A and B are shown apart, each in its own frame.
Chain A
Amino acid sequence: MSNVLVFFDELGEALSSAQKELIAQAGALGEVHIAVGAYTGDPTPALAIDGVQEVYLPEESLPAPEVAVVDLLETSVTESRAVVVLGSATADVTDALARLAVRLDTGLICGAAGISADLVVTKGELAGSYTTTSQLISATAPAAPLVVTFKPNNIDPQRVQTLVTRGEQPEVNVLPVRPSVGGVEILERTAMEVSARPPLTEARIVVAGGRGTDGDFTPLEELADELGAGLGASRAATDAGWIEHAAQVGQTGVTVSPQLYISAGISGAVHQRAGMQTAGTIVAINKDEDAQVFEIADFGVVGDLHEVIPQMIEELRRRKR
């Protein structure tokens, strides 16, 4: 079994489901070591997980875009003798791991879906229209570790639950790394609103609205709550300020791969499709029978969302009774 280093750019009191999934990916490869960039208090209780051996922390918390995390990672790789480094495919983690790969003179694969024991990586490409399989070209042995970032939601959450179980507290190593001076200075930080609904990338069902909502997302919110779904939107809707930018699904928003995607009042432009076309099932509601979204919908309704959605909600409630 090989050693794996998992990087969390920040760690709260509990692991997020994406972080649990990463541990599950790592656990299948070997002994798990974890490096944490930013933290408050003692992050170790959250990391008391079966299979997690060691945790590496900086002397002081290193919130992104702090570059000193790369020093932390470099040292953690040496200490853990990891053959592979894993992180989430988010902006801040990608920045840190991309720099790490330069320092280690090794290859980087971004946005992976899976990794096998012999470090062969699969990932979706060209907006999910292809799956590629790739690996490190290692001319010399021992090769530098492979660095990989993962998209969330590739392992069934229930499977993650069975794979990631409580264990003993890992050994903690505080490494001599402190925040860097100069360069990039954070002037202001604003936490993004966290909605009570399931996060988009993790939701099994996503209800998304576009310009066709005419600015009123209430029926979509109600439908999302009825279904326990995440709430998404097209860029037209986020640009108009009807809903926060974080809800944007698409090429320059989030990519979602839920079991069910309900698209309402969205034309289905290529940029939007890029973010949702790997959904298991697509249901579309659009007034225009020629809307592009109907080309990929498993079930399409040519109709007014303001009539169809309230009726859907009513029918869902009726069946629950």
Chain B
Amino acid sequence: MVNAPLHIITLVKWVPDAQLERRYNAEGRIDRSEGVLSELDEYPLEAALHIKEAAQDREVRVTALTMGPAGASTAAKKALQIGADDAYQLTDDALIGADIWATSVALKAAVETATGAAEFESGEPEYLVLTGMASEEGESGAVPAQLAERLGAHVVTYATALDLEAERLVVTRSGGTESQKVAVTMPAVVSVTDQANDPRYPNFKAIMAAKKKPLTRWTLADIDLRPEQVGAMVRVLRTDARPPRTAGEIITDEGDAGVKIVEFLVKERLL
């Protein structure tokens, strides 16, 4: 029997650059006027491309899916340059201020629409959703499990290695107090950590090729959702910036710095 084709949906998020100052706006939302493709989403994308390249006898498609404001199209385009075959971007004003709950509602509909739209030559595909270990600004890591619950899919989080076998995916993961090797059958949602691989950089040829790849933009209506279905469950009442850390006393070692540190610790009552 020929292996069923595999449709890998990789979630990629456009996030404020962590190298720059990140802030909340007056409405209690993270300022998203500028951003980059989340570094943490390069690992699942790389994992997807690995799986595709290793699957000799299997038709595999890698689709990038992003949800976010207009600027998020740059995340989708970057994913195409890195190697995704096609990309979808979900943008709708009703999604502004989406929490984990609302995000997973929207992503579930988007994943289903993307898998429904895809045509494969070798039969009915199975699907696999790969995500980063957490979003870079929310840092909850809860979307993979919520998405899986809504899709009726299995979930494995914090993958450090992935290996596609004929009828299952074998994943090494780090749980709380142990490292596990687990087998999961499709459909599945797997979050991938930065331990899993070394993401590739797009070269000039890939950047040119990406221009020809399809990028489809959706609003909620395109994925059959109404605005009231994506209302947030959690409301942010206030945001308070911590005073930024400033440099303290810096000394150059003149042979007594070890003693000086201990004196500092004593003075600060830290011992």
Contacts and interface: CB of A to CB of B under 8 A. Distances in A.
Contact of A183 (B173, B184, B255, B259): B184
Interface in A184-198: 184-192
B28 interface: yes
Contacts of B32: none
Interface stretch (A78-86, A129-137, A161-169): A129-137
A171 interface: no
Interface stretch (B109-117, B136-144, B202-210): B136-144
B240 interface: yes
Contact of A92 (B176, B184, B256): B176
Contact of B140 (A94, A120, A134, A281): A94
Contact of B245 (A130, A132, A296, A311): A296
Contacts of B148: 99
A21 B242 CA distance: 24
B262 A294 contact: no
A10 B253 contact: no
A217 to B, nearest CB: 17
State the main secondary structure of chain B at its contact with A.
Answer: mixed
Given A129-B242, A191-B178, A316-B262, A302 B250 contact: yes
A228 to B, nearest CB: 10
A135 B178 contact: no
A103 B152 CA distance: 12
A187 B240 contact: no
Contacts of A302: 250-253
Contacts of A59: none
Contacts of B19: 270
A178 interface: no
A102 interface: yes
A232 to B, nearest CB: 17
A124 B119 CA distance: 44
A294 B247 contact: yes
State the main secondary structure of chain A at its contact with B.
Answer: mixed
A65 B176 contact: no
A300 B245 contact: no
A173 interface: no
B253 A108 contact: no
B55 interface: no
B259 A191 contact: no
A135 B237 contact: yes
B58 interface: no
B164 interface: no
Contacts of B26: none
B122 interface: no
Interface in B62-84: none
B175 A132 contact: no
Contact of A186 (B104, B141, B182): B182
Contact of B259 (A110, A136, A205, A315): A315
B233 to A, nearest CB: 3
B252 to A, nearest CB: 5
A248 B251 CA distance: 27
B216 interface: no
A298 interface: yes
Interface in B155-205: 155-158, 170, 173-185, 193-195
A252 B40 contact: yes
Given A95-B145, A295-B247, A312 B238 contact: no
B139 A99 contact: no
B194 A252 contact: yes
21 contacts: A91-B176, A95-B145, A98-B100, A98-B143, A102-B101, A102-B150, A108-B101, A110-B140, A128-B242, A130-B240, A132-B238, A132-B240, A137-B234, A187-B170, A245-B174, A252-B133, A281-B270, A300-B248, A300-B251, A303-B252, A311-B259
Given A94-B141, A137-B232, A301-B257, 14 more contacts: A106-B233, A134-B237, A135-B234, A137-B235, A184-B154, A184-B183, A274-B18, A283-B264, A289-B252, A302-B253, A303-B253, A312-B258, A312-B261, A314-B258
Interface of A: 9-10, 64-65, 67, 70, 90-99, 101-103, 106-111, 120, 125-137, 149, 182-192, 205, 227, 245, 251-252, 259-260, 270-271, 274, 277-278, 281-283, 285, 289, 294-304, 307-316, 319
